[in-house]
């Protein structure tokens, strides 16, 4: 034990090493919390809707049409809210972003199954063109949500078909989602260009693209980042959404 | 499309909502499953798993009161109620950060978000069951802990380029490390990393360092991983093992604190945090962590009581350190303690200890009369007993101290010293009562930490000195030398940067304590007086009343 002489009687700067408990209640936090709440409500709504369709299927085309609108709009908002939350969490580093090796076909199947009821009520046929053994590196949750979002959007414009395809070339995975609708209007094609992603004036159609671009860009390998692209034409002669991951 | 293979499997559905259990039950039967049970809470699920064996468990995350889905899975793994080939699917209606983190943290075989379409379940099950079929032999070997055979089987699968090669390589890395085939493990990790910076391979390399005795290197790498991927929970767990191997309890606590911040729902980590914090004397962190373990519910009655007692003890220690801040916790501890006496399964000794703890809280709340009403009958009955445990003896002395009966406390602690003079582990408990250490561990700790603090003080790092002495004071709140050094460092600090009400209060509080306990013949008496007058002089000079 030291005795007193080991101490002189001078000096000493501040001591407080206590934790700071300041909850930073900024607007984005409040927004994120309410988005979360809205999303949960929509999930309940979608769940009830599915049960309702199962218990009492639509009797005629008009009813079927109403239900498909209900389903589409609710799914669309829901999937956008999920994207919004994901971006918020990624930026706050509070979401695990985990790149792993995944079978692309499984990611496709998951998202198609997720929207099974929607496609059935809208009579949309899904075509998948992807090697069973194709694997790639990505965050399955996040990419899944991008595909989910695009599928819902395509279901709105497709006449009868949506096609998902994936190929690997030049060390990059390219995923395309095509429909047989009228294709994207010009302003959308412009909005999807990389240089226009940043100044998104956040109207809702662009928002979806903004999310997709953001999530694509989280995927990095060396100097390469993921990208998205919109075009018209493709094998179904409609809109084509493409996401390329390094 | 009902499958024949499905009809053999045993399924458990866990959800607190009746309607969802029914929906899921219907879906499963449509898919061809014949043996479907259900449970409406985590506790019920665990009970069911003790009675029966399930090949497939579909478990909702949010199960209302008690355990959640992650905790159910953790528990099943801990008790080895789930075999390698069994499938656990976590379901959830919400995607809050905690839920996503949980799902990521506990690694169920699948995580599905509601609303879940029949198609999704059908497809996912098909895929998981295919995997199970292909790897069943390996799982069976693993269940028998036959590591060498499992390694051979896995190597074969990888060579065959199985669809599940990646899973096989992860398993192989684990097994190579367990069987000390470090080079082979390293080859897998490095080859993987050449292609992509995958988390499991990065953590794998750090684990290899640790397994080969290079804890420092492992720590460096793991810190890098966590910096880049703050949600990589495996890295925290291995980092904790590394600090544990170095007996660095301060850093160990730190890493558990970080880990529960990132992923708060893991019961195991909360418990580890509580235990290490208690050992470090950080009663505030310990009490809060124990409280969380209690909130999450518990598996067995024994576990529950033990945690309740530990919660009370840490809350009491915290109350001693900071009565204002700890007031709510102390109240809660009081409530918790009052439930112990009614439990049939609790042994009498624990019941006695619970009452002593209650008397300690009442004593500190200055409710001495009530405290005495509890402790006096206990003291009477203890006199008639031969084999009183040292825990009870030590806490009785503490009870006297909290009731301001310092003379009796001193007398009794001297008796204890005599009785246990050659029992190091009891002496370590007695340290807490004493004004200077009596155990070897306490002496060594005091010497080392005090030297560290004095070194910092001499090097003008007074902030560091105060932190060092405060830490030591928390662990041994009655050691005179530590208290004096802490006061001196704080006075010096204020001379340097100016007055600060919190620090003044702290100095006064310590000196008040010492004035009661240090008499004129004490070796520390003179220094205590000197510090007192230094503080007074400084306050007058700086115009503080």
pLDDT computed for residue B303 by the predictor: 65
Here the ipTM equals 0.74
Question: For the purposes of burial, counting CB atoms within 10 Å of the CB of A64, is it exposed (0-12), middle (13-18) or buried (19 or more)?
Answer: middle
Query: Residues of chain B with pLDDT > 90: what percent?
Result: 51
* B475-to-B282, B325, B446, B488 alpha-carbon distances in Å: 7, 18, 10, 19
pLDDT at A223 exceeding the cut of 70: yes
pLDDT band at A7 (very low <50, low <70, confident <90, very high): very low
Q: B124: which chain A residues are within 8 Å (Cβ-Cβ)?
A: 110, 113
The Cα–Cα gap between B251 and A173 comes to: 42
What is Dmax (Cα atoms) for chain B?
90
Which of B24, B90, B97 would best serve as a mutation to test chain A binding (most A beta carbons within 10 A)? B97
Which one of 1.20.1740.10, 3.40.50.2300, 3.20.20.80, 3.40.1390.30 gives the CATH number of domain B5-135? 3.40.50.2300
In a mutational test of the B interface, the residue from A4, A12, A104 whose CB has the highest number of chain B CBs within 10 Å is: A12
- Would you place residue B67 in the very low, low, confident or very high pLDDT band (cuts 50, 70, 90)? confident
Contact flag B123-A89 (C-beta cutoff 8 Å): no
Which residues in chain B are contacts of A6 at CB distance < 8 A? 454, 458
Q: Could B481 and A113 be called an inter-chain contact, meaning their C-beta atoms sit closer than 8 Å?
A: no
CATH fold for domain B440-541: 1.25.40
Count of CB pairs separated by less than 8 Å, A with B: 150
Q: Do A96 and B118 touch (CB under 8 A)?
A: no
Across the interface, whether the CB atoms of B197 and A99 are under 8 A apart is answered yes
B137, B144, B204: which is closest to B164 by C-alpha?
A: B137
Give pLDDT, residue A30: 72
pLDDT at residue number B3: 60
Highest mean pLDDT among B65-69, B181-185, B406-410: B181-185
- What residues of chain B lie within 8 A of the CB of A99, using their CB? 196-199
State residue A13's pLDDT score. Answer: 25
Nearest residue on chain A to B197, alpha-carbon basis:
A99
CA distance B77 to chain A (A): 23
According to DSSP, the β-strands at B110-113 and B56-60 are unpaired
Locate all alpha helices (DSSP H) within B144-212, ordered by sequence.
147-159, 165-178, 182-195, 199-211
Question: Average per-residue pLDDT in chain B?
Answer: 89
For residue B445, the chain A residue with the least C-alpha distance is A1
Neighbours of B422 (CB within 10 A): 7
Closest CA to A216 of A203, A230, A204: A230
Per-residue pLDDT at B100 exceeds 80: no
Residue B275: predicted pLDDT: 94
Residues B437-446: contacts with CB within 8 Å, 24+ apart? B437/B476, B437/B479, B442/B476, B445/B472, B445/B475, B445/B476, B446/A1, B446/B472, B446/B476, B446/B479, B446/B481, B446/B482
In this prediction, residue B190 carries a pLDDT of 95
pLDDT tens digits, B437-469: 899 988 988 888 888 999 998 888 888 999 999
CB B20 within 8 A of CB B66: no
pLDDT at position A236 = 93
| Chain A, nearest residue to B529 by Cα | A4
The predicted structure's pLDDT at residue A36: 74
pLDDT tens for residues B75-94?
A: 898 888 888 889 999 998 76
Q: Which residues of B touch A53 (CB under 8 A)?
A: none
Residues of chain A contacting residue B95, judged by C-beta atoms under 8 Å apart: 36, 39, 82, 85
Best A5, A8, A15 member to test B by mutation, with max B CBs in 10 Å, is A15
Is the CB of A89 less than 8 angstroms away from the CB of B97?
yes
Closest approach of B503 to chain A, Cα-based (Å)? 9
What local confidence, expressed as pLDDT, does residue B542 receive? 57
Task: Name the least confident of A23-37, A123-137, A167-181, B282-296.
Answer: A23-37
Q: Is B135 in the A-facing interface, judged by CB distances under 8 Å? A: no
Q: Do A137 and B527 make contact, defined as CB atoms within 8 angstroms? A: no
Q: Do B493 and A13 touch (CB under 8 A)?
A: yes
Q: Which residues of chain B make contact with A3, given a CB cutoff of 8 A?
A: 527
Asked if B95 is an interface residue toward chain A (Cβ–Cβ < 8 A), one would say yes
A155-159, B149-153, B404-408, B517-521: range with highest mean pLDDT:
B149-153
Cβ contact, residue pair B166, A101, below 8 Å: yes
- pLDDT reading at A15 higher than 60: no
HEC sequence for A190-214: HHCCHHHCCCCCCCHHHHHHHHHHH
B508, pLDDT greater than 70? yes
In angstroms, the separation between the Cα of residue A13 and the nearest Cα of chain B is 5
Q: Which CATH architecture has domain A27-245?
A: 2-Layer Sandwich (3.30)
Show which of residues 142-201 on chain B sit within 8 Å of chain A, judged by CB atoms.
163, 166, 195-199
pLDDT at B327 over 60: yes
Q: Mean pLDDT throughout B318-336? A: 91
Does residue B382 belong to the interface with chain A, where contact is any CB pair within 8 Å?
no
Query: What residues does each domain of chain B span?
Result: 5-135, 440-541
| Chain A partners within 8 Å of B230 (Cβ) | 93
pLDDT value of residue A16: 30
CB contact at 8 A, B396 and B412: yes
Is the pLDDT reported for residue A220 higher than 60? yes
pLDDT value of residue B304: 81
Distance between CA B491 and CA B513 in Å, rounded? 17
Whether pLDDT at B63 is above 50 = yes
Worst-scoring range by mean pLDDT, A9-13, A241-245, B163-167, B301-305?
A: A9-13
Find which of A179-188, B299-308, B361-370 is predicted with most confidence, using mean pLDDT.
B361-370
Chain B residues with CB inside 8 Å of A114's CB? 117, 120
pLDDT at B80: 85
- The rounded distance, in Å, linking the Cα atoms of B413 and A194 is 76
What 3 state SS string does A76-105 have? HHHHHHHHHHHHHHHHCCCCCCCCEEEEHH
The per-type count for chain A, helices as H runs and strands as E runs, is 7, 9
Q: Is the pLDDT of residue A111 over 90?
A: yes
Domain spans of chain A, in order of start: 27-245
Binning pLDDT at 50, 70 and 90, where does residue A203 land? low
Give the Å distances, CA to CA, from A14 to B457, B465, B503, B539: 13, 11, 9, 17
Roughly how many angstroms between the first and final C-alpha of chain B, as a whole number?
85
For the cut 70, the answer to whether the pLDDT of residue A202 exceeds it is: no
CA B440 remoteness from chain centre: 26
The mean per-residue pLDDT over the stretch A195-199 comes to: 56
Predicted local distance difference test score (pLDDT) of residue B450: 87
Q: What is the pLDDT of residue B117?
A: 79
Query: For the ranges A81-95, A153-167, B110-124, B217-231, which has the lowest average pLDDT?
Result: A81-95
- The DSSP element (H or E) to which A136 belongs, if any, is strand A135-138
Query: Is residue A114 scored above 90 in pLDDT?
Result: no
Contact criterion met (CB < 8 Å) for B488 and A9: yes
From chain B, pick out residues whose CB is under 8 angstroms from the CB of A15: 462-463, 466-467, 470, 489-490, 493, 503
- In degrees and rounded to multiples of 5, residue A136 shows phi and psi of -150, 165
In three-state secondary structure terms, A181 is coil
Separation between Cα atoms, residue B371 and residue B208, nearest integer Å: 55
pLDDT band at A52 (very low <50, low <70, confident <90, very high): confident
**Residue of higher predicted confidence among B228 and B252:** B252
């Amino acid at each position: 034990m030291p005795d007193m002489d080991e101490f002189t009687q001078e000096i000493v700067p501040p001591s407080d090493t206590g934790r700071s408990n300041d909850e930073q209640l900024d607007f984005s936090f409040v927004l994120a919390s309410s988005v979360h709440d809205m999303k949960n409500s929509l999930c309940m709504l979608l769940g009830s809707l599915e049960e309702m369709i199962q218990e009492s299927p639509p009797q005629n085309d008009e009813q079927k049409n109403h239900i498909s609108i209900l389903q589409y709009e609710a799914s669309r908002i829901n999937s956008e809210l999920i994207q919004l939350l994901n971006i918020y969490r990624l930026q706050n580093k509070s979401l695990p972003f985990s790149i792993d090796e995944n079978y692309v076909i499984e990611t496709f199947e998951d998202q198609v199954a997720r929207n099974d009821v929607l496609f059935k009520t809208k009579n949309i046929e899904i075509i998948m063109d992807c090697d069973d053994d194709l694997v790639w590196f990505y965050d399955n949750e996040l990419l899944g949500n991008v595909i989910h979002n695009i599928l819902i959007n395509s279901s709105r414009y497709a006449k009868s078909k949506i096609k998902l395809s994936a190929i690997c070339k030049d060390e990059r995975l390219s995923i395309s989602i095509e429909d047989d609708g009228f294709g994207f209007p010009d302003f959308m094609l412009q909005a999807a260009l990389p240089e226009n992603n940043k100044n998104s004036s956040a109207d809702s159609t662009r928002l979806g693209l903004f999310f997709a671009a953001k999530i694509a860009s989280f995927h990095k390998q060396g100097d390469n980042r993921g990208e998205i692209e919109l075009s018209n034409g493709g094998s179904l002669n409609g809109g084509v959404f493409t996401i390329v991951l390094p | 499309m009902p499958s024949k293979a499905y009809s053999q499997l045993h399924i458990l559905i866990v959800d607190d909502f009746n309607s969802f259990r029914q929906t899921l039950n219907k879906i499963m039967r449509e898919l061809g499953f014949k043996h479907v049970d259900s449970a409406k809470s985590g506790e019920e699920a665990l009970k069911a798993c003790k009675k029966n064996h399930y090949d497939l468990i579909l478990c909702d995350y949010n199960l209302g009161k008690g355990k959640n889905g992650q905790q159910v899975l953790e528990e099943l793994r801990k008790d080895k109620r789930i075999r390698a080939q069994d499938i656990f699917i976590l379901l959830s209606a919400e995607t809050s950060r905690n839920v996503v983190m949980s799902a990521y943290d506990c690694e169920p075989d699948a995580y599905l978000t509601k609303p879940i379409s029949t198609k999704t379940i059908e497809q996912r099950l098909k895929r998981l069951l295919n995997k199970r079929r292909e790897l069943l032999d390996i799982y069976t070997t693993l269940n028998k802990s036959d590591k060498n055979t499992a390694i051979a089987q896995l190597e074969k699968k990888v060579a065959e380029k199985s669809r599940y090669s990646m899973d096989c390589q992860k398993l192989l890395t684990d097994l190579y490390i367990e069987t000390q085939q470090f080079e082979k493990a390293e080859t897998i990790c490095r080859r993987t990393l050449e292609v992509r910076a995958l988390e499991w391979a990065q953590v794998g390399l750090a684990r290899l360092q640790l397994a080969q005795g290079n804890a420092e290197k492992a720590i460096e790498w793991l810190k890098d991983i966590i910096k880049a991927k703050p949600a990589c929970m495996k890295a925290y767990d291995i980092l904790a093992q590394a600090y544990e191997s170095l007996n660095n309890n301060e850093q160990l606590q730190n890493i558990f604190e970080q880990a529960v911040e990132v992923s708060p729902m893991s019961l195991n980590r909360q418990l580890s945090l509580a235990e290490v914090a208690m050992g470090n004397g950080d009663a505030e962190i310990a009490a809060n962590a124990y409280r969380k373990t209690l909130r999450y519910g518990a598996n067995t009655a024994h576990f529950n009581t033990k945690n309740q007692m530990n919660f009370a003890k840490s809350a009491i220690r915290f109350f001693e350190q900071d009565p204002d801040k700890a007031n709510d916790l102390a109240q809660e501890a009081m409530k918790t303690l009052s439930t112990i006496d009614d439990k049939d399964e609790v042994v009498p000794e624990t019941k006695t200890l619970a009452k002593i703890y209650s008397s300690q809280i009442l004593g500190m709340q200055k409710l001495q009369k009530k405290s005495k009403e509890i402790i006096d009958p206990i003291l009477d009955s203890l006199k008639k007993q031969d084999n009183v445990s040292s825990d009870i003896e030590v806490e009785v002395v503490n009870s006297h101290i909290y009731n301001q009966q310092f003379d009796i406390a001193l007398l009794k602690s001297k008796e204890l010293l005599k009785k246990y003079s050659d029992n190091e582990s009891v002496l370590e408990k007695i340290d807490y009562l004493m004004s200077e250490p009596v155990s070897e561990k306490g002496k060594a700790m005091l010497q080392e930490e005090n030297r560290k603090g004095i070194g910092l003080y001499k090097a003008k790092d007074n902030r560091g000195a105060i932190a060092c002495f405060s830490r030591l004071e928390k662990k041994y709140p009655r050691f005179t030398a530590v208290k004096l050094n802490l006061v001196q460092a704080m006075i010096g600090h204020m001379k340097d940067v100016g007055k600060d009400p919190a620090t003044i209060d702290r100095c006064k509080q310590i000196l008040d304590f010492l004035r009661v306990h240090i008499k004129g013949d004490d070796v520390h008496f003179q220094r205590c007086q000197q510090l007192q007058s230094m503080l007074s002089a400084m306050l007058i000079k700086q115009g503080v009343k």
